[in-house]
Homo-oligomer: A and B are copies of this chain.
Amino acid sequence: MTTKSANARHTRQQLIAVGADLLCRRGYTGFSYQDLAHELGISKPSVHHHFAQKADLGLALCDWTEQWLRDGFGHFDQHGQNAPDKLQRYLRAAAKHTFNEHKQCPLSALHSDLAQLPDAMRARLSDLSQLEVNWVAAVFRQGLADGELQAPAGASAQELAQLFIFACKGALYYARLLGREHFEQSMTLLLQQWLPDAQPAQSHTPL
């Protein structure tokens, strides 16, 4: 029943799954082939059999991350009622990942280890970051078109998206130490300014 090749596919997938988990918990340089081997109950050279070099596994983890992103975005697109709701779902997922599961998102984990990443992975990470920006930008574009979101004069959906993501990732970094409420406070404040019923500045009326 369990043929050798089926087992192999299984092992390879398990390596990616465990690798992704370790990546999110300890970063790219924070886990070793030893760790993977131990986790799967196989030998270190057997890990090399599936991924000759760690960079090969790293690239596979980038592929995994791309799928992880696409799945997440698909889910938010499908269940989110409107743009603000999609962003809220994105933030809730990020918070759950960070504070309940005590993991970083794979993108942040890779950004953390940027200096030790092989060139191929850096290029891939750049693309993945852009992929994330693009999805958030599309949500903002939709929100602006629907009137569910409101931009400061002259700000593009792309710019809003980047600020949103950067603030989110930075807040997650710091909130791991400072506490979850710091993340929630900051992101609420940021989004609040872009909601139509927001009061953008106290006792100030624009021209």
Chain A residues with a Cβ under 8 A of chain B: 25-27, 29-30, 108, 111-116, 122, 125-126, 129-130, 133, 150-153, 155, 159-160, 162-163, 165-171, 173-174, 176-178, 182, 185-186, 189-190, 192-194, 196, 198-202, 204-207
Cα separation A176 to B89 with both chains bound (whole Å): 27
Say whether B199 contacts A186, CB under 8 Å. no
Say whether A152 contacts B114, CB under 8 Å. no
Cα separation A207 to B29 with both chains bound (whole Å): 53
Say whether B201 contacts A152, CB under 8 Å. yes
Say whether B202 contacts A114, CB under 8 Å. no
Say whether B114 contacts A177, CB under 8 Å. yes
Q: How many copies of this protein are present in the complex? A: 2
Given contacts A160-B189, A186-B166, A196-B204, contact A173 B111 (CB under 8 A): yes
Say whether A150 contacts B185, CB under 8 Å. no
Contacts of A206 in B (CB 8 A): 198-200, 205
Cα separation A205 to B200 with both chains bound (whole Å): 10
**Complex partner residue of A115 from B25, B155, B205, CB under 8 angstroms:** B25
Report which residue of A26, A30, A168, A170 has the largest number of chain B beta carbons within 10 angstroms of its beta carbon. Answer: A170
